[in-house]
Amino acid sequence: MEKRSVDVAVLSDLHLGTYGSKAAEVLNYLRSIAPQMLILNGDIIDAWQFTKRYFPQSHMAVLKEVLAMMGRGTRVVYITGNHDEILRRYCDIQLGNFQLTDKLVIEINKKTTWIFHGDVFDNTTKGAAKIWAKLGSSGYGCLILINRVINRLMKCIGRDRVSLSKTVMAGVNRAYKVNEFETTAAEIAIDKKYDYVICGHIHQPQQRVVETEKGKVMYLNSGDWVEHLTALEFYQNDWHIYTYDEAQFRHVRPDTEKPVLNVVTDEINFYVSSLAI
């Protein structure tokens, strides 16, 4: 498969190390693109549910592919989330093409994009409520396993797949008041005079303009690689939501040799800095 050239790709909520992570699909996607910058926007490795008994080869292959992309010239920025918050103690380090941080601003062609995971607005991930959040995360993982068994049975009897976990997540998002989450992020971005704001965390891909009396901003969410299999891509001077299509990768061999990426950086000007919220 020929690689698509994109300026920036943003992925969040891979939850590697859990049963729900669609690592094989993530790997296919990463091998299909040639970005100048790859931004991993939190909850990439799920430290909340991490166990030595479960970290399949397909999950390790995703990490190896990210390293390979760095070796081919792609700049990789890892923004921490709540499930990989253990990495926050090491934030603001940079090693070659790799940067670890908890928030990021990039300037592309004189337009600024503010990127962070989004759990800073979620009180359920803080204090005593964090215990319940971790229990809920474990329950969600169990529900995904149950969902897989149900779908095997549905396939045997010729019925369509169902997604109980997706339904539950949608209910949680309604209770969590996703619109308030998005509006809060957008209002802060407007105050800071940013053109775009990108979050993850709520597993809900989104692209919409939020306007207040102080101005407007484009709010985007990169979704997840558990249910929606989405990412954000910047090309042709704008942001776009990418949705994984299994049919496009049906005949892709997983062990095909990958060409060396020739990265051209003269056509796009990146300015990267870490800013406080």
pLDDT for position 89: 92
Q: Is residue 273 over pLDDT 60? A: no
pLDDT for 58 = 95
CA distance 125 to 128: 9
Task: Give me the domain span that covers residue 176.
Answer: 4-273
108 vs 233: CA distance, rounded Å: 13
pLDDT tens-digit series, residues 195-243: 999 999 999 999 999 999 999 999 999 999 998 999 999 999 999 999 9
What is the C-alpha separation between 100 and 98, in angstroms, rounded?
7
Q: Are 86 and 102 in contact (CB under 8 A)?
A: no
Domain count, the chain: 1
Instruction: State the pLDDT at residue 132.
Output: 42
Q: Is residue 137 very low, low, confident or very high in pLDDT (cuts 50, 70, 90)?
A: low
Q: Looking at the predicted structure, is the pLDDT value of residue 37 above 90?
A: yes
Residue 87 has a pLDDT of 94
We report the CATH number of the domain holding residue 170 as 3.60.21.10
Per-residue pLDDT tens for 93-124?
Answer: 999 999 999 999 999 999 999 999 998 886 55
pLDDT digits (tens, 9 = 90+) for 45-93: 998 877 778 899 999 999 999 999 999 999 999 999 999 999 999 998 9
Structure tokens belonging to residue 2: 């020929």
Q: What would the mean pLDDT of 240-259 be, rounded to a whole number?
A: 78
CB 206 within 8 Å of CB 222: no
Q: At residue 38, does pLDDT exceed 70?
A: yes
pLDDT computed for residue 159 by the predictor? 73
- Residue 263 banded pLDDT, cuts 50, 70, 90: very low
Q: How far apart are CA 248 and CA 233, in angstroms?
A: 18
**Predicted confidence (pLDDT) per residue in 147-164, tens digit:** 766 667 767 887 766 665
